[in-house]
Amino acid sequence: MKIDFLPDNVKQWYLRFITPVVKFFIDLEMNPNWFTTIGFIISIIAAFFYGAGSLRLAGSLILLAGTFDIIDGQVARSTNRVTKFGALYDSTLDRYSEVIMFFGLAYFFISEALFSTSSAFLAIFSSVAVSVALGGSVMVSYVRARAEALGFECKVGIMQRPERIVYIGIGSLLHKYTLILALIIVAILANFTALQRLYHIWKKENGRKTVPDAQ
């Protein structure tokens, strides 16, 4: 049974929702790399607000940055501007965006542990969850990149970048405790997704070996 942590109908609804915006930018014939850069800058601003404790504002910005990440791909495909450098640039800034976002979150929870009257244990636990979530997020991307370099397609997984952004963004909008819960979910499932991709490639390679050569 396939478990969707971000159902396809939700994804399709959001894509339809932003279609007018995408068409507007297509008509302007803007370079898709601009949207990648804008999304990255928004992520930096979001990290600053996470560090400052403005969780709802930071969560809103994270979701906005994720939207720009969608727009750049849509514009690139619609204007036939898909390039190898563009793909590399997009992937690189995506990784930096996540690292910076998690850094802002870690700073927030460490500050809570040091200076707040709230539970120091919870703040330290949350900081650990941020670190594990960051590690899992990096490994999800790394396994895919390494697999594709070896000639395999590897887009499987239950906690990919869109899911991570949505869970952390929505969690931030609701409450500090829903953010902590979202981080725990991401920490567990991102690492599970990395292992899921590893297993996927193992199965693919063993499947290749068991198929007899054509006569």
User: What DSSP string describes 59-72?
Assistant: HHHHHHHHHHHHHH
- Which whole number is the average pLDDT over 91-120? 87
- As a whole number of angstroms, the distance between CA 132 and CA 105 comes to 12
74-78, 92-96, 164-168, 208-212, range with the lowest pLDDT: 208-212
Please give the torsion angle defined by the CA atoms of residues 136, 60, 17 and 6, in that order, rounded to the nearest 10 degrees: 30
**Contact, 62 vs 46, CB < 8 A?**
yes
Query: What gap in Å lies between CA 18 and CA 171, rounded to an integer?
Result: 22
Tokens describing residue 13: 């609804």
- Between CA 63 and CA 77 the distance in angstroms is 22
Alpha-carbon distances of 206 from 53, 193, 195, rounded to whole Å: 49, 20, 16
pLDDT of residue 201: 94
Domain at 8-204, CATH from 3.40.50.720, 3.40.309.10, 1.20.120.1760, 1.10.3720.10? 1.20.120.1760
Say whether pLDDT at 60 is over 50: yes
57 vs 62: CA distance, rounded Å: 9
Q: What pTM did the predictor assign? A: 0.87
Distances (CA, A) of 151 to 82, 122, 142, 193, 205: 20, 43, 14, 19, 10
| Alpha-carbon span 22 to 39, nearest angstrom | 14
How much is the mean pLDDT over the chain?
87
Decide which of 81 and 175 is more confident. Answer: 175
50 with 58: CB under 8 angstroms? yes
Q: How far apart are the C-alpha atoms of 88 and 134, rounded to whole Å? A: 20
- Minimal CA–CA distance to 187: which of 141, 123, 124, 127? 127
> Taking residues 178-200, what's their average pLDDT?
95
For 123-155, how does the pLDDT look when each residue is reduced to its tens digit (9 = 90+)?
889 999 999 999 999 999 999 999 999 999 888
The confidence score (pLDDT) of residue 208 equals: 65
Helix (H) or strand (E) segment spanning residue 148: helix 120-149
